[in-house]
Amino acid sequence: MPTGEGRPSLVAGVLVACALSALVASAVPAAAKKRAPVHPFGSRLLRPGAAGKDVRFLQRALTRLGVPTGVDGAFGKGTSRSVKTFERQHGWPVDGRISQKDAKKIRKLLVKRRVTGGFFVLGYVNPILNLKSHRAGSATVKVVDASGNVAAVIPVDFSGAQTRSVPWNGTTSTGPAPDGNYQIKLTNPGTAKASAAGGQVQPFGMHLHPFPVPGPHNFGGADARFGAPRNGHIHQGQDVPAACGSKIYVVETGAVTTNAYQASGAGNYVVIHGYFTGTDTVYMHLKTPSWAPAGTGVYAGQQIGKVGATGDATGCHLHFEHWSAPGWYVGGAPYDPLPELLYWDSYS
């Protein structure tokens, strides 16, 4: 029989350790609680070893400008590699540092890109372009990526002079659109003599996964990590400490396979099978039972529950697991979700 967090009959000991990890994450020494100086982005040279909100701004900016970067507020090796990649792409001197002059250039690039809003493939909310026709007929809407490549073509028919909303669900003729920035626009007014009348007229981000905890959060300490030693096994997920009652989002469109409660371990928990990847995501210690019974279809970006400390847990946190296909205790295996979580956190 498999063991580890998420197996209702066997998780008690494991989730005790999970709870302890949350306790460790919340036990911040008094000295560490001193307010660190806040550096606005562009007010200082950013280089390896720097940390703060301006580094976090840089990390998010790099992702929005096409270089996916984990967002943790620390200028480490990963951020340095991303900066060098970005410098090469733009023909800048490659030194892995961001000067005040470089920061001004990045801000201008962000304004030029004007990416507004974020959406998810087959998500709970879709980008919508509103069209107004002058007569019966047809028109054509296209979705293009940041390089101008066509991702989708959407024909639109009108029965007369009317206004219609044209959504895009993030799919293409070959499957889900790759993560990136897109724009949905009217490319041919056609016989309907259509014109854009509002909606998502600016570029936007489209991704397969959102971050599961959109509110303030952290990733705890070493004991919160996947693979941290436990009594006779290892930690099979990543803890995400957050305020009690914080929203928890579905990370991939799919279906609920398990919605249950275990007092001695997982508390209120839910398992969701992803439609596109075939992987399973597991959300534990929910404040109250999830509204979605097994068999319910759910969408990326849809709320599935709230952060809590039910079951064997100390301190409110989401215990998040990701299992390879075919899924949770049906042939799949848990793997470290932290790299994914950091990436999802960078744009959500």
More confident residue, 326 or 34: 326
* Structure token digits, residue 307: 């952060």
Q: What is the mean pLDDT of residues 276-302?
A: 97
3-class DSSP state of 19: helix
Q: Is the pLDDT of residue 316 over 70?
A: yes
Distance CA 200, CA 19 (A): 43
Confidence of residue 113 (pLDDT cuts 50, 70, 90): low
The yes-or-no verdict on residue 3 having pLDDT over 70 is no
pLDDT (0 to 100) of residue 60: 84
The whole-number average pLDDT for the span 118-132 is 94
pLDDT of residue 38: 79
**Using N-to-C axis directions, what is the helix angle for 77-89 and 53-64, rounded to 10°?**
50
What pLDDT shows up at residue 116? 61
- The rounded mean pLDDT for the chain is 87
Q: What is the mean pLDDT of residues 131-141?
A: 96
> Cα dist. 333→112, 156, 324, 326, 328 in Å?
43, 44, 5, 9, 7
pLDDT grade, residue 21 (50/70/90)?
A: very low
pLDDT band at 91 (very low <50, low <70, confident <90, very high): confident
pLDDT in tens, 172-207: 999 999 999 999 999 999 999 999 998 888 889 999
Please, which pLDDT band fits residue 9 given cuts at 50, 70 and 90? very low
Residues 6+ apart with CB under 8 A from 82: 59, 62, 67, 68, 69
Q: What is the percent of the chain with per-residue pLDDT over 70, rounded to a whole number?
A: 87
Question: Residue 146: what pLDDT?
Answer: 87
30, 246, 271, 338, 341 from 66: Cα distances, Å: 39, 30, 32, 21, 18
Is pLDDT of 6 > 60? no
Band of pLDDT at residue 35, cut at 50, 70 and 90: low
- With 80 as the cut, is the pLDDT of residue 70 above it? no
H/E element, 274: strand 267-274
Under the banding of pLDDT at 50, 70 and 90, the label for residue 23 is very low
Whether residue 30 is predicted with pLDDT greater than 70 in this model: the reply is no
Domains of the chain: 35-113 (1.10.101.10), 118-207 (2.60.40.4070), 211-345 (2.70.70.10)
Is 48 a residue whose pLDDT tops 70?
yes
CA atoms within 13 A on the CB side of 94: 10
Cβ-contact 269, 281 below 8 angstroms: no
User: pLDDT-based confidence at 32, cuts 50/70/90?
Assistant: very low
Tell me: the pLDDT tens digits for 333-343? 999 999 999 99
How confident is the model over 69-86, as a mean pLDDT? 89
Query: Mean pLDDT lowest for which of 11-15, 160-164, 249-253?
Result: 11-15
Lowest-confidence segment of 13-22, 216-225, 313-322 by average pLDDT: 13-22
Confidence of residue 34 (pLDDT cuts 50, 70, 90): low
Say what percent of the chain tops pLDDT 90.
68
Give me the residues paired with residue 268 across strands. Answer: 261, 286
